[in-house]
Amino acid sequence: MFRLAILGSGSGSNAKNLLEYFAASNEIEIGLIAHNKSNIGIVQHALDFNIPTYLLTKENFQLSDNFLQHLIENKIDWIILAGFLWKLPVSLCQRYSDKILNIHPSLLPKYGGKGMYGHHVHEAVFHAHEKESGITIHLVNEEYDKGAIVFQATTSLTPKDTPSTIEQKVRALEIQHFPHIVEQTILAK
Ligand code: GRF
């Protein structure tokens, strides 16, 4: 059994989708949900699925290896970033080298990097009059959004699209693809 930790900072729709998908799996289980804010959707999803949670702080995440130790003690094999907004410490990237996946709501390398998250991405795509957008699922290294791309899916845009309809189209792709790409990537290693 591969054990995953999901890290998130928000509503957790992707985390919920992963929880639902892997609930019946005999090969992959979610062992932990870590979050850097209280009272966010992802925490409620963890409670609903009876998954242990871990509140990340600067002290346990960035200034010490406490969280890393927690992952190791809990036999976590893979880390899945699902709307997680903090940069990962080098020690975590090194210990989980090629075992961290992120989902990004654009077609990287376009609209990636610092400050490019959530609605900022969709507004930038809108203002650039792009004819398509999409999702990128990629391995994570020490630089923002620069790890090897595992999968991309695109959606067409029209002049009628707004940042909010672009977001809806991209979210539909996330829900459609993220769990099975996570599964394929892990089982292929
Ligand atoms: C998603 O659009 C994801 O691609 C991005 O952050 C958003 C997270 O949404 N990295 P949610 O918390 O999964 O609802």
Reported as a single tens digit per residue, the pLDDT across 125-178 is 999 999 999 999 999 977 766 689 999 999 999 999 999 999 999 999 999 999
pLDDT score, position 185: 97
DSSP3 helix / strand / coil % (the chain, rounded to 5): 40, 25, 40
| Atom of ligand 1 lying closest to residue 12 CA | 12
pLDDT score, position 189: 76
Dihedral sign from CA coordinates of 172, 175, 177, 182:
positive
Task: Please tell me the distance from the alpha carbon of residue 183 to that of residue 2, in angstroms, as a whole number.
Answer: 10
pLDDT tens sequence across 82-116? 999 998 999 999 999 999 999 999 999 999 988 89
Residue 138 a catalytic site member: no
Whether 49 and 21 have beta carbons less than 8 Å apart is answered as no
Distances (CA, A) of 66 to 56, 71, 75, 141: 10, 9, 14, 20
- Which of the following is catalytic: 104, 122, 138, 177? 104
Mutation test of ligand 1: which of 174, 175, 178 has the most ligand atoms closer than 8 Å to its C-beta? Answer: 174
- Enclosing H/E stretch for 126: helix 119-127
pLDDT score, position 68: 97
39, pLDDT greater than 90: no
148 burial type by CB count under 10 A (0-12 exposed, 13-18 middle, 19+ buried): exposed
- Enclosing H/E stretch for 101: strand 100-104
pLDDT score, position 144: 60
- Closest Cα to atom 7 of ligand 1: 83
> In the structure encoding, which two tokens stand for residue 140, read together?
């994570």
pTM: 0.94
pLDDT tens sequence across 44-71? 999 999 999 999 999 999 999 999 999 9
